[in-house]
Amino acid sequence: MQNFIYHTPTKVFFGKDTHKNVGEIIRNYGYKKIMMQYGKSSIKKSGLYDEVVKSLRENNIEFVEMGGVEPNPRLSFVYDAIKVAREEKVEFILAVGGGSVIDSCKVTALGVKYDGDVWDFPAKKATPKDALPVGCILTISAAGSEMSQSAVISNTDIKEKRGCGTEFNRCKFAILNPELTYSVSQYQTACGIVDMMTHTMERYFYPVDPTPLTDSISEALLKNIIKSSKVVMTNPSDYEARANLMWASSLCHNDLTGCGRAHALAVHQLEHALSGEHEDVPHGAGLALLYPKWAKYVYKYDIPRFAQFARNVWDVENTDDEKAALEGILKMEEFFKSIGMPCFLSDFDIPDTPSEVYADLCTYSRTRTIPSVIELGYDQIKDIFDMCV
């Protein structure tokens, strides 16, 4: 077990009707003027917008709105939000939405407190030193951004999607009401399921010394996600299954499943190239395509680990390690397919793109490699994308 720091200060308000207390929660922190960011029209259609506004008004919280955050949130939107947040002197940023909205808020919050270009942070030209506080009302179980230190932002001008992790990104609070996810489409629900699973799997497969306790917790999470996924695919309003998925999405990315381990979110980097190049590829769908291909490419370098995964997560009984390992990967791929996820690049409505393009994007033009079960350089990444055709 490696040394680690574990710090998850986000206060979670979990359960039915919890979003109705958002104004009181913010008031208790002492914030009086806030920015609220959200996506397209869905929170207005569902009535969530009205309930949030009502609670804010009842608690005398003044707010400015920035609606229209897009999936794979855009740097250009963040620039606008930073300008407004400064002009309006907001003290706090509230995200009402999923991972994209939360990440947009996180990067805005970093930008408000930074004199330079906020892209300096994902571009690794500068390190955050401060940020406005952020909180969220989560509407989709997926990214885990509600408790994580991650944020991902797309710079569409240069077609780059980059992560920007910092402890300043931890939400002050996260309001998790599973009922708010009832209206998430089957496809988006499936994308979220893949996203949360891979957050734990990326940590699970990073090669380090044994961490049996973290392993068991990870396996417990994955098994529960798989079980609940099957329920919500047929009954999207099953509270218990939606609640399991929502809490699992947070635990899969708040670092609990990384304790004592190292991780690099390798396949996430590959996927960022895909959805960076094709803005409308949902992150989770990209992961569902890439993760099994990556696993097939690397499993032979850590057969015992993939065998453990197969047996403890997918109930594979094969006593031969290599056969079990492969069986587990196939079961994962089948599961992703069963919830409507893509298996090949041709399943997306995107133009043919040479694998070289993705390999170049992933490696920042051959200037980096990505650690995983094996080090992934340009050639390896090209090979994996070739397997997706």
- In whole angstroms, the minimum distance from the beta carbon of 258 to a copy of itself comes to 12
* Nearest residue to 43 via CA among 66, 75, 13: 66
Q: For a copy of itself, which is the closer residue by CB, 14 or 114? A: 14
Q: For a copy of itself, which is the closer residue by CB, 165 or 377? A: 165
Residue 305 tokens, joined: 């680990």
129 binds a copy of itself (CB under 8 A): no
Window 150-189: contact mask with a copy of itself (x via CB under 8 A): ----------------------------------------
Binders of a copy of itself: how many residues, by CB under 8 A? Answer: 40
**Contact assessment for residue 250 and residue 146, using Cβ atoms and an 8 Å cutoff:** yes
**Residues in contact with 338: Cβ distance below 8 Å, sequence separation at least 6, in sequence order:** none
Of 197-256, which residues contact a copy of itself (CB under 8 A)? 209-210, 212-213, 216-217, 219-221, 223-224, 227, 239-240, 243-244, 247-248, 251, 256
* The binder of a copy of itself chosen from 3, 127, 319, 367 (CB under 8 A): 3
Of 251-310, which residues contact a copy of itself (CB under 8 A)? 251, 256, 259-260
Angle (CA) 339 154 344, round 5°: 35
**Contact assessment for residue 272 and residue 152, using Cβ atoms and an 8 Å cutoff:** yes
State the Cα–Cα distance between residues 60 and 33, nearest whole angstrom: 9
- In whole angstroms, the minimum distance from the beta carbon of 224 to a copy of itself comes to 5
In terms of Cβ atoms closer than 10 Å to its own Cβ (0-12, 13-18, 19+), residue 220 is: middle
**Contact assessment for residue 305 and residue 207, using Cβ atoms and an 8 Å cutoff:** yes
- In whole angstroms, the minimum distance from the beta carbon of 96 to a copy of itself comes to 19
**Contact assessment for residue 186 and residue 340, using Cβ atoms and an 8 Å cutoff:** yes
**Residues in contact with 315: Cβ distance below 8 Å, sequence separation at least 6, in sequence order:** none
Q: For a copy of itself, which is the closer residue by CB, 126 or 259? A: 259
Q: For a copy of itself, which is the closer residue by CB, 238 or 347? A: 238
- In whole angstroms, the minimum distance from the beta carbon of 215 to a copy of itself comes to 9
Q: For a copy of itself, which is the closer residue by CB, 154 or 214? A: 214
15 binds a copy of itself (CB under 8 A): yes
- In whole angstroms, the minimum distance from the beta carbon of 138 to a copy of itself comes to 14
- In whole angstroms, the minimum distance from the beta carbon of 240 to a copy of itself comes to 6
State the Cα–Cα distance between residues 317 and 156, nearest whole angstrom: 46
Q: For a copy of itself, which is the closer residue by CB, 251 or 362? A: 251
Question: What is each CA distance from 164 to 1, 60, 257, 291, in whole angstroms?
Answer: 26, 33, 20, 22
- In whole angstroms, the minimum distance from the beta carbon of 213 to a copy of itself comes to 5
- In whole angstroms, the minimum distance from the beta carbon of 318 to a copy of itself comes to 21
- In whole angstroms, the minimum distance from the beta carbon of 65 to a copy of itself comes to 28
State the Cα–Cα distance between residues 360 and 381, nearest whole angstrom: 9
* Nearest residue to 34 via CA among 14, 55, 11, 8: 55
Q: For a copy of itself, which is the closer residue by CB, 123 or 259? A: 259
Q: What's the number of CA atoms in the CB half-sphere (13 Å) around residue 142?
A: 29
Residue holding tokens 């399943």? 347
Residue holding tokens 């920035």? 66
Q: For a copy of itself, which is the closer residue by CB, 140 or 274? A: 140
Q: Assign 136 to helix, strand or coil.
A: strand
Q: For a copy of itself, which is the closer residue by CB, 17 or 352? A: 17
In this structure, how many other beta carbons lie within 10 angstroms of the beta carbon of residue 152? 25
Residue holding tokens 């990209």? 286
The one segment of 15-23, 76-84, 129-137, 288-296 that binds a copy of itself by CB under 8 A = 15-23
Q: For a copy of itself, which is the closer residue by CB, 220 or 303? A: 220
Residue holding tokens 């690099």? 264
18 binds a copy of itself (CB under 8 A): yes
- In whole angstroms, the minimum distance from the beta carbon of 338 to a copy of itself comes to 20
Q: Footprint of a copy of itself on this chain (CB under 8 A)?
A: 1-18, 209-210, 212-213, 216-217, 219-221, 223-224, 227, 239-240, 243-244, 247-248, 251, 256, 259-260
